[in-house]
Chains A and B, each alone.
Chain A
Amino acid sequence: MTNKAIASACAVALTAFLGTAQAKTLVYCSEGSPENFNPMINTTGTTFDANRPVYEQLLGFRYGSTEVEGKLAEKWDISADGQTFTFHLRHNVKWHSNKTFKPTRNFNADDVIFSFERQWKDANPYHKVSGGGYDYFSDMDMPKLLKSIDKVDDYTVRFVLNEPNAPFLADLAMDFATIQSKEYADALLKAGHPEMIDQDPIGTGPFEFVQYVKDATIRYKAFPAYYGSKAKVDTLVYSINKDPSVRVAKLKANECQIAFGPRPADVPGLKADKNVNVMAQAGLNIGYIGMNTKKKPFDDVRVRRAITMVIDQKAILDAVYQGSGQPAKNLIPPTMWSYNDKVPGYKIDIAGAKKLLAEAGYPDGFETDLWAMPVQRPYNPDARRIAELVQSDLAKVGVKAKIVSYEWGEYRKRAQAGEHQMAQLGWTGDNGDPDNFFVPLAACSSRNTAQWCDKSFDDLVVKAAKISSQAERAKLYEQAQVVMHDQAPFYFLAHSVVYLPMRSSVTGYKMSPFGAHRFDMLDVK
């Protein structure tokens, strides 16, 4: 072999080596399998996380915040009456491709119209595809809210609403408002496989979908033609592991670099590991006990107030949340705008509670049920243990509580139907707008656990949803929190802290207040 040939061989080998060395892979230990690859037809965080690398919406949430920013829409105008929203779409946005589909055009208004009409109109050929259940679209009241969606030109779309609605922009940043490719949909329809649109996704996001091995891995690669900042890792892999201990073990063994939700008991061990960083953030959630205002004795506000004076919140936080909970006094978490910090927190006052109960006609207390969820939730790690602690607190004023539980689906159904006297439940926010807490959890139109319908509170939150000025809305929500504190339909337990452990080689990660996971902005050293 000549010297030249040896030099060329070395150069090739070095290039190959560098190529391999530079290719960065990030493995995320996720908690479950996605139902499919379309956020429109699903409601679980697991599925939204699996779709987030691929798809985008007109609007999005700024990385690590609840602030709405433009994504596929560069800017937007809102009419003076707050009912017409005109979106100016981004130019030169490329669609991904796969083995069967090569896009011939960029993203445009037709894709927006298609994606919303698929969820909205029965006549759309895709409306019934993949089961055709658009739960979030319905839950956000879109069918009632939308009057029309029109294409003004290729890069302008106009949404007209039936009434003003301030949270509308935040709603459009949610995962259900994903934009799919109309060209891909048409091609699949022609090929006779429309369902593949939700199995082999084509999006505009920072990563392209590569492969899903059911219950094992989801694989993506960085999309080189992405319009925004390119992803810093070349390959992204979701390694599906249902068991939290296995996820923690994989993280410690560097088999994955970020792991979903460890158990609170594993957090101290992870914090002690010098190769692991544990990020923590106050979750956008609330765990509470609803007191059924339609049933005796909780129809009397004095009884409800008395209950709030006997429960030892600190004991619950110490024993059950074990450092992963913040004491709650309002329905919304302190990180959310319009949080009213002037509302006083709970104070234990057994004598005061006894006095109130005596005034209400229960000097010797009463008997009640106290429901505990059978499952762990992000906002409540152990409802049964909480129920036991509350039971012993209530006994101090003569209230005998009987702990009740049902299978989870049955529990929710019965609690929302108001079969209980006292029931634990909670909520994790979807879009960072206070309306997303106040209306589904406490408005007269909701199936709230307290069965509470207070006209003054309801007027405030309904009015706030129709105003576009955030400052004015905040004032109304602050008043609503005062009314709520005064009427005490709920005892607020805690806002739980969400942990996300990752290898110290991961840099630039920001936790989402919604508990969403995004991997396009981070880097691996």
Chain B
Amino acid sequence: MVRSMFRFLFRRIALIVPTFIGVTFMAFLLIHLVPGDPIEARVGERGIAPERLAELRHEFGYDLPMWQQFFKYEVQIVKGDLGMSVVTQQSVWHEFITLFPATVELSIAAILFAMLIGLPMGVIAAVRRGSAFDYGLMGMSVTGASMPIFWWGLMMILIFSVTLGITPVSGRISDAFFVEPWSGFMLIDCYWSEDEGACSSAWSHMILPMIVLGTIPLAIIARMTRSSMLEVLNEDYVRTARAKGLSTPRVVIVHALRNALIPVVTVIGLSVSGLLGGAILTETIFSWPGVGHWLVESIARRDYPVLQGGSLLIAVLVIMVNLGVDLLYGFLNPRIRR
């Protein structure tokens, strides 16, 4: 058992190396395929003398052949150095670690929102199969899963913030509050703020972005829970439980839901990488200072080190999450370890 587990672990970790090289290569190549470079991006209408352009290109090493630039970049990464942002002159790692908690906080809130609403809805729809609620939920989940985040976000702002005035428009906290970013998680740091009301402001700022980012996972979780529950509800052991005279809530929650959750948990695990993609858009709409917003800004500025380093760190994160899911799966289901 332990040996096979280790072999499985070794195989999975060995696969990370080519994935890692592939990701760095793709990040490098795609960014370099886009016309322009960081130096041209910062030159305005004034233009730049060709000699000065050549001098700056040389200084940053952009005049080297692509393969040499890539090689230099790989060597630098192996040494653990992600480089400095061309624009801010700050280390990429420092910028990432400053902004990452905001993205994590939003993603956790979104996935919790999706689970807390999606799971009960899926269960009710399965239990009341064919009812108006079931049809309504399925219709809504198709709409939710295909919702364009950008449009959805702006609509939410327009309705709840501008027209009704019940939620803030954007940001993580009202600008009137002064919060020192100790942990980077606003919902934690706000408790140390001397300004009264900082935390209620932070929570109210979380509502709309959480709903917008959580909508797609919610729809997927609700659908997955419904179909998984429907399958389980027809199993013999559920029929046996009913025959034993157990109450419906007990049959559904204790006997059926526990077994139906296994595929749902997998879907939730896979949603993590999807959430990072969605976070890029959600952060842009709500001016949420996270890594998604940071990467979008860097594209316009052709900030190569940030784009390369940022994509790499996110890819590493997704690889780690997938590895964790695989290991957990291998642990739960011994058949896939072979």
Chain A positions near chain B (C-beta within 8 angstroms): 25, 27, 32-33, 35-36, 43-44, 130-131, 133, 135, 138-139, 195, 198-199, 210-211, 213-217, 219, 237, 239-243, 245-246, 249-250, 252-253, 255-256, 377, 406-410, 412-413, 416, 425-428, 440, 447
User: Once the chains are docked, how many angstroms separate the CA of A406 from the CA of B34?
Assistant: 12
Known: A246-B169, A255-B168, A426-B45. A410 touches B154 (CB 8 A): no
User: In the complex, which of the residues A25, A131, A427 contacts B176, with contact meaning CB atoms closer than 8 Å?
Assistant: A25
Task: Determine whether B146 belongs to the interface, using a CB cutoff of 8 Å to chain A.
Answer: no
Question: Cβ of B293 and Cβ of A239 under 8 Å apart?
Answer: no
Which applies to chain A's interface (DSSP): helix, strand, loop or mixed?
mixed
Instruction: State whether the Cβ of B90 lies closer than 8 Å to any Cβ in chain A.
Output: yes
User: What 11 additional pairs, Cβ within 8 angstroms, besides A249-B169, A409-B43, A425-B45?
Assistant: A25-B175, A36-B89, A139-B46, A216-B289, A239-B171, A246-B287, A249-B157, A249-B161, A249-B162, A407-B35, A447-B49
Is B99 close to A, CB under 8 A?
A: yes
Choice from B89, B284, B297 contacting A195 with Cβ under 8 Å: B89
In the complex formed, the residue of B with least CB distance to A254 is B165
Residues of chain B having any CB pair with chain A under 8 Å: 34-37, 40-49, 52, 56, 86-90, 95, 98-99, 154, 157-158, 161-162, 165, 168-172, 174-176, 178, 180-181, 284-287, 289, 293-294, 297, 302
A237→B162 CA distance, assembly (Å): 21
Whether the Cβ atoms of B297 and A416 lie closer than 8 Å is: no
Which chain B residue shows the least CB distance to A237? B175
Q: Measured between alpha carbons, how far is A377 from B44 in the docked complex, in Å?
A: 11
A43-B175 contact given A35-B87, A133-B56, CB 8 Å threshold:
no
Asked if A214 and B99 sit within 8 Å, CB to CB, the answer is yes
In the complex the two chains form, is A410's CB within 8 Å of B35's CB?
Answer: yes
Closest 8 CB pairs of A and B: A409-B36, A409-B40, A215-B289, A216-B289, A407-B35, A416-B47, A237-B175, A241-B287
Q: How far is the CA of A165 from the CA of B292 in the complex (A)?
A: 47
Kindly list chain A residues whose C-beta atoms are within 8 Å of the C-beta of B37: 409
CB A38 to nearest CB in B, in angstroms, measures: 10
Complex Cα distance, B171 from A407, in Å, reads 31
Residues of chain B lying within 8 A (CB to CB) of residue A427: 45
Q: Which of A195, A239, A240, A253 contacts B161 (CB 8 A)?
A: A253
Can you pick out 9 interface pairs between chain A and chain B where the beta carbons lie within 8 Å of each other? Answer: A135-B43, A199-B90, A210-B178, A243-B284, A246-B169, A406-B35, A409-B40, A410-B35, A447-B47
- Report yes or no: B157 in contact with A27, Cβ–Cβ below 8 A: no
* Option from B36, B46, B169, B289 in Cβ contact (under 8 Å) with A214: B289
Q: Which of A44, A198, A243 contacts B287 (CB 8 A)?
A: A243
Q: Which residues on A sit within 8 Å (CB–CB) of B174?
A: 255
Give the residue name and chain of the A residue nearest to B286 (CB): A246
Q: Which of A135, A214, A410, A447 has a CB less than 8 Å from the CB of B98?
A: A214
CB contact between A215 and one of B36, B158, B168, B297 (< 8 Å): that residue:
B297
Distance of A428 Cα from B44 Cα, bound (Å):
10
What separation, in Å, do the CA atoms of A413 and B286 have in the docked complex?
34
Contact B168 A216 (CB under 8 A): no
The CB with the most chain B CB atoms within 10 A, among A211, A243, A427, is that of A243
With contacts A139-B46, A407-B34, A410-B36 taken as known, whether A253 is within 8 angstroms of B284 at the C-beta atoms is: no
CB of B40 within 8 A of CB of A413, answer yes
- A33→B43 CA distance, assembly (Å): 17
Please determine whether A253 and B35 come into contact, CB atoms closer than 8 angstroms: no
Tell me the minimal C-beta distance from A28 to chain B in angstroms: 9
Chain B residues with CB under 8 A of A241: 170-171, 287
Instruction: Identify which of B52, B89, B165, B176 contacts A253 (C-beta below 8 A).
Output: B165
Q: Give complex CA distance A407, B157 in Å.
A: 32
Query: Bound state CA distance, A249 and B46, in angstroms?
Result: 34
B289: chain A residues at CB < 8 Å are: 213-216, 240
A301, B48: Cα distance in complex, Å: 28
Give the distance to chain B from A286, nearest Cβ to Cβ, in Å. Answer: 10
Tell me which residues across on chain B come within 8 A of A36, comparing CB atoms.
Answer: 88-90
CB distance from B295 to the nearest CB of A (A): 11
Q: Roughly how many angstroms separate A425 CA and B293 CA in the complex, as a whole number?
A: 29
Q: State whether A407 touches B297 (Cβ < 8 A).
A: no
Residues of chain B lying within 8 A (CB to CB) of residue A250: 169-170
Contacts A36-B89, A243-B285, A249-B169; is A412 near B43 (CB within 8 Å)?
Answer: yes
A413 to B49, CA, bound (A): 10
Question: Hey, which chain A residues are within 8 Å of B302, CB to CB?
Answer: 409
Chain A: CB-nearest residue to B283: A215
Cross-chain contact B170 with A409 (CB below 8 angstroms): no
Residues of A within 8 A of B161 (CB): 249, 253
Which residue in chain B gives the minimum CB-CB distance to A42? Answer: B42
B224 to chain A, nearest CB (A): 33
A242 to B46, CA, bound (A): 24
Known A133-B56, A219-B178: A412·B47 in contact at CB below 8 Å: yes
Q: Give the complex CA separation of A237 and B174 in angstroms.
A: 11
Q: Which residues of A contact B181 (CB under 8 A)?
A: 213
Q: Write out the residue numbers on chain B whose beta carbons fall within 8 Å of the beta carbon of A130.
A: 89
Cα A395 to Cα B56 in complex, Å, equals 43
CB-based contact B297/A253 at 8 Å: no
| Contacting pair B284 A242 (CB below 8 A) | yes
| A216 & B171 in contact (Cβ 8 Å cutoff) | yes
Bound Cα distance A198, B88 (Å):
10
Q: How far is the CA of A408 from the CA of B56 in the complex (A)?
A: 19
- The answer, among A198, A245, A410, for a CB contact under 8 Å with B89, is A198
B47-A242 in contact (CB<8A): no
A98, chain B: closest CB distance, angstroms: 14
Question: In the complex, A245→B162 CA distance in Å?
Answer: 11
Judging by beta carbons under 8 Å apart, are B36 and A35 in contact? no
In the complex, are the beta carbons of A246 and B170 less than 8 A apart? yes
State A465–B54 Cα separation when bound (angstroms): 30
